[in-house]
């Protein structure tokens, strides 16, 4: 019994030392026996080593086990539009992994799927995935869903998504809301509401909105002066 206990202690000690000095080896072995977190860790190690092609496989395995981040990274490795990883590209696989990551709640992966759908002239999925990324909190997704709605002349839908993009602190979203409240196609114009959103957009750095706010302030000041002069 003592011999068995000693052997067990040695195995545990060896494992702990391996985790400290050879963590990538432990991850490699763990991935080989089907541990999803080990696959993700080993994939991350390969990314650090810039062995991007080899990193695909462990991230794919981790994705198949339901790890959201691994699905998104696998999608990146296969898409690689900017050639950052210099890997073999496969838009079919990138779409599959991005879609899986999107299902698991990765907003950016939903957005990337929408971009691929847009490039494939797939309007339905373009809008659906932009809207999904918006629902998951990505302001850029809300803005693009709004633009897609506007192009289809769904003005109320566009306004809804523009408002969400403004809530996400996107200057262009707030500016587009200001424009929407100024135009008849979105309903009865409401200049007071428009100015509220132009002001928000200005504070977020939108130059056009700042010019609108400055012009309106100048008009209001002139009207106040004219009113005071007649008293």
231 residues of the chain, pLDDT tens digit each: 555 455 444 333 333 333 444 445 567 577 877 788 888 988 998 989 899 999 999 999 999 999 999 999 999 999 987 778 888 889 899 999 999 999 999 999 999 999 999 999 999 999 999 999 999 999 999 999 999 999 999 999 999 999 999 999 999 999 999 999 998 878 888 999 999 999 999 999 999 999 999 998 888 776 555 555 555
CATH number assigned to the domain with residue range 138-225+227-231, chosen from the 4 options 1.10.1200.10, 3.40.50.2300, 3.30.420.40, 1.25.40.10:
1.25.40.10
pTM: 0.81
Reduced to 3 states (helix: H, G, I; strand: E, B; else coil), residue 55 is helix
Distance CA 86, CA 40 (A): 20
Instruction: State the span(s) of the chain assigned CATH 1.25.40.10.
Output: 32-122, 138-225+227-231
Cβ contact 111:130 at 8 Å? yes
DSSP assignment letter at 184: G
Q: Determine how many CB atoms are found less than 10 A away from the CB of residue 21.
A: 9
Cα dihedral 127, 132, 135, 137 sign? negative
CATH class of 32-122: mainly alpha
């Amino acid at each position: 019994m003592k011999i068995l206990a000693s052997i067990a202690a040695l195995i545990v000690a060896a494992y702990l030392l391996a985790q400290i000095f050879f963590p990538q080896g432990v991850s490699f072995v763990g991935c080989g026996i089907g541990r999803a977190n080990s696959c993700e860790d080993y994939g991350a190690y390969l990314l650090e080593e810039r062995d991007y092609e080899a990193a695909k496989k462990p991230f794919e395995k981790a994705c198949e086990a339901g790890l959201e981040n691994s699905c998104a990274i696998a999608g990146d490795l296969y898409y690689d539009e900017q050639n950052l990883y210099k890997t073999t590209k496969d838009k079919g696989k990138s779409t599959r992994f991005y879609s899986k990551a999107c299902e698991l709640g990765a907003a950016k992966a939903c957005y990337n799927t929408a971009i691929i759908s847009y490039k494939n002239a797939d309007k339905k999925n373009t809008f659906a995935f932009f809207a999904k990324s918006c629902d998951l909190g990505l302001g850029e997704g809300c803005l693009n869903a709004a633009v897609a709605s506007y192009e289809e002349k769904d003005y109320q839908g566009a306004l809804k998504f523009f408002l969400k993009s403004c809530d996400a602190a996107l200057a262009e979203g707030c500016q587009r809301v200001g424009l929407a409240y100024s135009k008849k196609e979105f309903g009865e114009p409401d200049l007071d509401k428009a100015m509220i959103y132009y002001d928000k957009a200005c504070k977020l750095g939108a130059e056009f909105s700042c010019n609108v706010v400055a012009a309106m302030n100048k008009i209001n000041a002139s009207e106040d002066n004219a009113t005071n002069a007649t008293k």
